[in-house]
């Protein structure tokens, strides 16, 4: 099972390397949306620092949604999903592997880019570890919740809008706790409580989301 999961992750990473533009699109969107706020709101760093938590998290959430629609759709079109269903391996483990590949290609780069973009919003350097920690935990949950939405909308033509409608309400707790952790990090206060809540959401998502994805994929393939 572990070997099959690692093979799925390696395959998705290799495919992404062959199409770098698709992997860079969420990062470009994240950067453009974040950098537009100093131009459209105000160039004053004090005011930008106040809205930085919400800007970073909402932009990261929307950027992550861009690549979710194709998470399982291409596999369904080329027959890979059918082979996964017939492989005899636990489908939940393979779905978790595909979600892990999505996080490595989208969530992790967004997390690493956030401190750089935070500088444009007046975020102090002392807050960068907290921002990295909160986004690392939060993007794991966002990828898993998004995978559930991608599996549910697999058989829907042009399901991008429906995917957003299904996914965005489920990401509200992660968005709230993540923005709060970022706010505390910027203020120089303790953020362990918010990080614990983000970690709890991530554990809950890792436990339940692969099972939900597997069930949705089986229903969608029938």
**Which parts of the chain fold into alpha helices (H)?**
2-18, 20-40, 45-66, 70-78, 80-86, 91-102, 108-120, 128-152, 160-170, 172-187, 192-221
The answer to whether the beta carbons of residues 147 and 69 sit under 8 Å apart is no
Give the number of other CB atoms < 10 A from CB of residue 43: 10
pLDDT (tens digit per residue) in 75-121: 777 777 788 877 778 888 888 999 999 999 998 999 999 988 888 88
What is the distance between the alpha carbons of residues 185 and 80, in angstroms, rounded to a whole number? Answer: 43
Least confident stretch, 75-89, 191-205, 208-222:
75-89
Q: What is the pLDDT of residues 159-197, one digit of tens each?
A: 667 888 888 889 999 999 999 999 998 888 888 889 999
Q: What is the pLDDT of residue 159?
A: 63
Name the pTM for this structure.
0.87
């Amino acid at each position: 099972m572990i070997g099959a999961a690692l093979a799925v992750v390696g395959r998705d990473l290799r495919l992404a390397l062959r199409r770098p533009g698709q992997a860079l699109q969420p990062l470009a969107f994240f950067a453009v949306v974040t950098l537009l706020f100093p131009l459209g709101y105000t160039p004053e760093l004090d005011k930008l620092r106040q809205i930085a938590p919400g800007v970073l998290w909402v932009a990261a959430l929307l950027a992550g949604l861009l690549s979710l629609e194709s998470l399982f759709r291409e596999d369904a079109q080329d027959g890979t999903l059918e082979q996964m269903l017939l492989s005899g391996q636990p489908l939940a483990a393979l779905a978790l592997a595909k979600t892990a590949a999505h996080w490595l290609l989208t969530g992790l780069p967004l997390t690493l880019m956030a401190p750089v973009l935070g500088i444009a919003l007046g975020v102090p350097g002392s807050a960068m570890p907290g921002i990295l920690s909160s986004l690392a935990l939060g993007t794991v949950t966002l990828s898993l919740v998004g995978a559930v939405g991608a599996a549910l909308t697999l058989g829907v033509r042009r399901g991008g809008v429906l995917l957003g409608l299904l996914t965005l309400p489920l990401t509200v707790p992660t968005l709230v706790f993540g923005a709060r952790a970022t706010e505390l990090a910027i203020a120089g206060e303790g953020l362990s409580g918010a990080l614990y809540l983000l970690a709890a959401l991530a554990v809950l998502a890792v436990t339940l989301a692969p099972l939900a994805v597997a069930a949705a994929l089986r229903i969608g393939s029938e």
